Structure 1
Amino acid sequence: MRIWRSYGSEHSMDLLLIGTFITVADAEAAIERMEELKTLADLAWSDSDWRNQNERMPRTLTDELARLGLYDMGRADVDNYAFDHSVERSGATVRIRTEESEIQGFVKLVLHLGGRVEVLSGHHWNDDGTPKTATGG
């Protein structure tokens, strides 16, 4: 009899990243860039990429990041946009929800566009930033 052992992740972060911008136009620009990065991630994603950590980014990806002025983003940052997430805007605030713990691509974009970043665990905090109570909050 063989016993299978492995490491797995349940992807249950229930994470909320809040980006607060100075103007509504800045928040709208962030949404637009996130949509572009999602499209780029979907086009550039490959199931085998995780096995080739030393592989350079495709030229098309570096060219597109340069066009967007996102020189500090790498392939892993773009890959964040391929994972399941949702984005909502209310005024000058953008809310990104994901079950992933890898959020550096979102953080970099919000900061690049002049936003303030707040990250909350939905397991312990309500959307308004108040702690959940032991009774389910």
Structure 2
Amino acid sequence: MRIWHSYGSEHSMNLVLIGTFETVADAETAIERMETLKGLAESAWSEDDWRRQDKGMPSTLVDGLTKLKLYDFGRFDVDAYAFDHSAERTGSVVRIATEESDIQGFVKLFLDLGARVEVFSLHTWNEDGTTRRTTDG
């Protein structure tokens, strides 16, 4: 008999990231950069890149990050933008919703633009900051 041991990311994180910026212009810049990063991620994506630990970032990705002045971004930070997520701006607040747990690229961008960042799971918290009541304890 074989027993399979593995880890998977099938579990939905149902995460919300909220970045509160000093100005509306900063929030607009965040949205613009996220759109650019999504384009970079999709154009440089390769399904087998995760298997090659020695492979560096493609020059197009390096050039794109340099133009955005995102010098602390790595390959995996950019890859997160290729995964399913939604982003919306209301005034100086940007809200991102995602099922992924790898959110470092979003957090880095928000912090780089001077935002105050809040992260929570809708499994546990409501949008208004109250906890969700559970029936199991």
Q: TM-score, normalised by structure 1?
A: 0.92
Aligned twin of 1:115: 115
Question: Which ranges in structure 2 are unaligned for 5 or more consecutive residues?
Answer: none
CA distance in 1, matches of 2:79, 2:73: 10
Aligned twin of 1:102: 102
1:40 aligns with 2:40: yes
SS where residue 22 of structure 1 aligns? coil
Deviations for 1:71-126, whole angstroms, at most 9, x for unmatched residues?
11011000010111000111111011111110000000000011111101110001
> Is the CA contact (8 Å cut-off) linking 1:21 and 1:116 kept in structure 2?
yes
CA distance in 1, matches of 2:124, 2:3: 35
> Is the CA contact (8 Å cut-off) linking 1:126 and 1:132 kept in structure 2?
yes
Q: Which amino acid aligns with 1:82?
A: A
Percent identity over the alignment is: 70
1:57 aligns with 2:41: no
Q: Which amino acid aligns with 2:114?
A: G
SS where residue 34 of structure 2 aligns? helix
Question: Which ranges in structure 1 are unaligned for 5 or more consecutive residues?
Answer: none
Aligned twin of 1:86: 86
Q: TM-score, normalised by structure 2?
A: 0.92
How many pairs align?
135
Structure 1 position 133, deviation (Å): 2.2
Structure 1 position 2, deviation (Å): 5.2
Structure 1 position 9, deviation (Å): 2.2
> Is the CA contact (8 Å cut-off) linking 1:76 and 1:105 kept in structure 2?
yes
